[in-house]
Amino acid sequence: DTEVTQTPKHLVMGMTNKKSLKCEQHMGHRAMYWYKQKAKKPPELMFVYSYEKLSINESVPSRFSPECPNSSLLNLHLHALQPEDSALYLCASSQDGGAHNQPQHFGDGTRLSIL
């Protein structure tokens, strides 16, 4: 079992819906990440939070909006998504909020389908 918990595990939504993905870790890690992963492809970095502040946005469309309410929680708010946004969304955390050179701990992911 992973120490990074993501909910929901599966999500089906229409293009006009608003939904949120949630991620939680209690390892005291100070860096948290959102990745998008298509089948048989490597994870693509979307956002990085370091010490609860957004430090990296990899040119992600504004229909994805991250939020870090506290050091243990990371949300990804979704609005007006497109069918090509269907993918596995992974949350990860790592110990060091600054250097990002520590191993990452991944959640099971949320499998998102856009109708």
Partner 1 sequence: AQSVSQHNHHVILSEAASLELGCNYSYGGTVNLFWYVQYPGQHLQLLLKYFSGDPLVKGIKGFEAEFIKSKFSFNLRKPSVQWSDTAEYFCAVGGSYIPTFGRGTSLIVHP
Choose among 86, 87, 88, 89: nearest CA to 76.
89
Say if CB 49 and CB 32 are below 8 A apart. yes
26-85: contacts with partner 1 (CB under 8 A)? 33, 40-43, 45, 48, 56
Size of site (CB under 8 A) for partner 1 = 23
Shortest distance, CB of residue 108 to partner 1, whole angstroms? 5
Instruction: For residues 56 and 38, give the distance between their C-alpha atoms in angstroms, rounded to a whole number.
Output: 21
Q: Which residues bind partner 1 (CB under 8 A)?
A: 2, 4, 33, 40-43, 45, 48, 56, 90, 92, 99-109
